[in-house]
Structure 1
Amino acid sequence: MKIAFLTPEYPHAKTGFSAGIGTSILNLSKGLLQLGHQVTIVIYGQDQDETFTDAGLTFYKIKNRKLKGFSRILTQKKIQKQINDLVDKGEIDIVEAADWTGITSNINLKCPLVIKLHGSDTYFCHLDQRPVKFLNKFREKKALQKADAWLSVSQYTATVTKELFALPNDFTVIPNGIDLTDFSVAEMKNTTAENTILYFGTLIRKKGLLELPLIFNEVYKQNKQAKLVLIGRDAADITTGNSSIWAMMQPLFDTAAFQNVTYLGSVPYDQMKMHINASTVCVFPTFAEALPVSWIEAMAVQKAIVASDIGWAKEVIDDDVNGFLVNPKDHQTYAKKINALLENASLRSQIGSAAQEKVRQKFSIEVVARQSAAFYQKLIK
């Protein structure tokens, strides 16, 4: 098959910043290539129009058209022409696009279109308990209604999305996957630092970053050797308008605890596994996700993690088996779970080994790519 992904982001030096959607497409593309399929990445919102190939993938960068009041529709028609030209040339059999802001709402393709739920703006606004822009919700619903088939990275996201948009559609759940060879414990030196707690991901309110200082204060009260390391892009706060979540976090730390906090900013994706491996415990006190790749990456390196107990979480982690799930606002219980792992190497090993096995069985790119290919093939036929 010849599969194309329409996306606003992808982790490549030529395509700019990428978050979870881009990372999930990268991993799925690798799995599909290994199965012998052809993969094309059509990425809009770029600095220029450009075509290039790398690592077996063909990339089409699309620069958005700009004309006041018409930029979006003109960009959509540009995307439509690019994809349909490739369909006519026999280069694309099927297209998968993300639900974010409904980019396909005014795009008509000559091949089947799949919309995958990674979490729409409407979905995240609902989880954040803030109003969604009318146009965003309208476009996202229209894009979903126009699609030929629907996927979701988690059952929770599918259920909430159906309710929010009053959709009759059934969503097939195929989770995000990762390449386990990129997170091979055997290839890493044993550089784990004791009492090191790692958070990696964007510094943003919805991921619980304003709860994390209060959690760490409780950890530090019981363990003065505990250290917190933060890795990720700083972000503005949509609630207060503050330009930096990191600036908002700092006053929340107790003075003594803050001396044991290190913020490294963003690091290259290929270096992240070294930082994960160097940590003792990974923490993710998030309030809003669809299915977080970061959790799966930490589990793949046999790390014990303490994560949020909200919604999608039970589809990734079995509480007390391959990780711990705690409400992020329950600071004392969250800290208690972290300290239990910091103090007990045997427990960490047990949880970490079970976590890696869960990833191998459910979230490896081999498993996810086979499921995806079977779904695409059925739709094409």
Structure 2
Amino acid sequence: MNILFSCDEYPPARTGGIGSATKTIAENLVRKGHNVYVVSGRLDRSLPEIAMINGVTVYRLYLMQKFSWLFTNNCIAVNLHNLILRFGLLARYAISEYHRKEDFMERIIKEKQIDVVDLPDYTVLSKYYSSAKELLFHRFSIPSVGHIHGSMSFLRYYRNGGINSVMKANDKLFFESVDKILSVSKFAANFVNEKLDVASKCDVIYNPLVSSFADIANNLHIKRKNTIVFLGKIIETKGAFNLIKAFNAFVKKHPEYELVMIGGGNIDRGKSLVEKSIKDKVCFTGYLRPENIAAYLKSAAFCVIPTFFENFSVAALEVMSCGNILIYTTTSSGPEVIEDGVDGFLVNPYNVQEICNKMNYVADNLDKLEEMRTMAANKIKDNFLENIIVNKLENYYKEMIVRQSLNILTQ
């Protein structure tokens, strides 16, 4: 197959979940003998326009260049940029740039004889055109997948509790422009069907965990430290701040424990929430390399990630692959990853006392929970490693192509 991905976060650009997952999938497909191409829309010129990365051909299309000065760290530029986002002043220009990207992708489709195109529901331009009315998305000349990672409507709904009607309409139009809809979790699929009123069926294939991470991390029987680990962005919606508040109470009963917060974000805010008497018991590492993360995860007593909402978290998979006990979230995709009390625990991420209580329970019963570590590691090995997930995606794309050739492709 010849496969084209749209992915604005494709590494080595600074990446989020979309970029990491797409890279893992793309490189695995190359190893399976497919030709894989990526079109990455960029707002800066820090990377080359064309690159071959581990067999994947990456085209970088530089967007919004008339206003490139807005995407610098200059204080004036940052303030103006925030005003533009607030009032939607670049919406019309962003739409034209989005269509330019679509035209570029159509050219690649013809030149490289692409068989299927995979499109995310969030792009680098989404926040600029989300306020523009009735955005018309291109319907590609080949089978197209609308991949649910987390649209602007999704982010707005779970951060602010509501969806702008124009934003909702545009995201709905995107899903109506593709042949099939594929989600990284049932939770995200339900949002598209129920909150965006998209009638089409949303299929589900989870994000993959890189096998090499599990290989270097999976050691169930090493001596563990009195350390609790959080892995994710240090922001409110990832549950970082509520965990710190819970740890302030937890450590009074368990003074032998330390908390390690791995990730970037609002670290200063996190530090301000730590009670002065236990400042030395909370460590903020910032971003770490995978091997350094694995070292923390496999030696920690247990991990806590009480995220408010999550399409599908690879961080949870990383923790469990280490044979670590994870206290995760009852909300969003948490129950799709963990069976409460069997291979981990689920808590209400908004309830600080509940988080603290569950931390106390795990700390008091670590010697009785060894089987849980094995159950967690085996679940990841059997269901979420890259070879398993990529095989599912490969078959999904192949089926789309066959159905297209038989003229029976439907949503």
State the TM-score, normalized to the length of structure 1: 0.88
Counterpart of 1:212 in structure 2: which amino acid? L
Partner SS state of residue 273, structure 1: helix
Query: Residue 30 of structure 1: CA displacement?
Result: 3.4
**Aligned equivalent of 1:23:** 20
**Aligned equivalent of 2:201:** 170
Q: Deviations over 1:104-161 (max 9, x none)?
A: 9533422222111112221232223434445433321111110111011111211122
Contact 1:231-1:267 at 8 Å conserved across structures? yes
**Aligned equivalent of 1:240:** none
**Aligned equivalent of 1:237:** none
**Aligned equivalent of 1:377:** 398
- Greater shift, 317-326 or 257-266, is seen at 257-266
**Aligned equivalent of 2:273:** 252
Counterpart of 1:166 in structure 2: which amino acid? D
Distance across 2 between alignment mates of 1:105 and 1:358: 42
Q: Aligned pair in 2 of structure 1 residues 204, 91: CA closer, same or farther (>3 Å)? A: farther
**Aligned equivalent of 2:82:** none
Distance across 1 between alignment mates of 2:304 and 2:223: 16
Distance across 2 between alignment mates of 1:187 and 1:283: 18
Q: Deviations over 1:153-172 (max 9, x none)?
A: 11121112211111111011
Q: Aligned pair in 2 of structure 1 residues 374, 24: CA closer, same or farther (>3 Å)? A: same
Q: Deviations over 1:186-239 (max 9, x none)?
A: 7879876511111111112211122112111122011101111111121xxxxx
Distance across 1 between alignment mates of 2:396 and 2:247: 43
Distance across 1 between alignment mates of 2:229 and 2:297: 7
**Aligned equivalent of 2:329:** 308
Partner SS state of residue 62, structure 1: strand
Contact 1:128-1:287 at 8 Å conserved across structures? no
**Aligned equivalent of 2:177:** 146
Distance across 1 between alignment mates of 2:291 and 2:57: 21
Q: Aligned pair in 2 of structure 1 residues 192, 114: CA closer, same or farther (>3 Å)? A: farther
Counterpart of 1:158 in structure 2: which amino acid? A
Query: Residue 368 of structure 1: CA displacement?
Result: 0.9
- Matching of residues 327-346 of structure 1 within 5 Å: 327-346=348-367
**Aligned equivalent of 1:2:** 2
**Aligned equivalent of 1:281:** 302
Counterpart of 2:119 in structure 1: which amino acid? A
Query: Residue 333 of structure 1: CA displacement?
Result: 3.2
- Structure showing greater radius of gyration is 2
Distance across 1 between alignment mates of 2:167 and 2:319: 33
Query: Residue 251 of structure 1: CA displacement?
Result: 3.5
- Tell me which of 44, 48, 68 is aligned to 1:47: 44
Distance across 2 between alignment mates of 1:332 and 1:297: 26
Contact 2:213-2:290 at 8 Å conserved across structures? no
Percent identity of equivalent pairs: 24
Matched, 1:96 2:106: no
Distance across 2 between alignment mates of 1:290 and 1:187: 25
**Aligned equivalent of 1:206:** 237
Q: Aligned pair in 2 of structure 1 residues 275, 136: CA closer, same or farther (>3 Å)? A: farther
Matched, 1:265 2:265: no
- Matching of residues 182-193 of structure 1 within 5 Å: 182-185=213-216
Partner SS state of residue 311, structure 1: coil
Partner SS state of residue 100, structure 1: coil
Partner SS state of residue 85, structure 1: helix
Contact 2:331-2:349 at 8 Å conserved across structures? no
Distance across 2 between alignment mates of 1:74 and 1:342: 55
Partner SS state of residue 318, structure 1: coil
- Tell me which of 367, 370, 381 is aligned to 1:360: 381
Contact 1:4-1:95 at 8 Å conserved across structures? yes
- Tell me which of 194, 198, 210 is aligned to 1:179: 210
Query: Residue 177 of structure 1: CA displacement?
Result: 1.0
**Aligned equivalent of 2:35:** 38
Q: For structure 1, which runs of at least 5 residues remain unmatched after alignment?
A: 235-244
- Tell me which of 110, 127, 150 is aligned to 1:119: 150
Q: Aligned pair in 2 of structure 1 residues 88, 137: CA closer, same or farther (>3 Å)? A: same
Aligned-residue CA RMSD (Å): 2.4
Q: Aligned pair in 2 of structure 1 residues 69, 328: CA closer, same or farther (>3 Å)? A: closer
Counterpart of 1:45 in structure 2: which amino acid? R
Matched, 1:57 2:56: yes
Q: Which has the higher contact order (CA 8 A, sep 6+)?
A: 1
- Matching of residues 74-113 of structure 1 within 5 Å: 74-100=96-122, 106-113=137-144
Counterpart of 1:72 in structure 2: which amino acid? A
Q: For structure 2, which runs of at least 5 residues remain unmatched after alignment?
A: 67-89, 127-134, 403-411
Distance across 2 between alignment mates of 1:201 and 1:254: 21
**Aligned equivalent of 1:157:** 188
Contact 2:247-2:356 at 8 Å conserved across structures? yes
Contact 1:194-1:342 at 8 Å conserved across structures? no
**Aligned equivalent of 2:406:** none
Distance across 2 between alignment mates of 1:61 and 1:269: 26
Distance across 2 between alignment mates of 1:42 and 1:191: 43
- Tell me which of 199, 218, 223 is aligned to 2:249: 218
Partner SS state of residue 60, structure 2: strand
**Aligned equivalent of 1:238:** none
Counterpart of 1:221 in structure 2: which amino acid? K
Distance across 2 between alignment mates of 1:217 and 1:309: 22
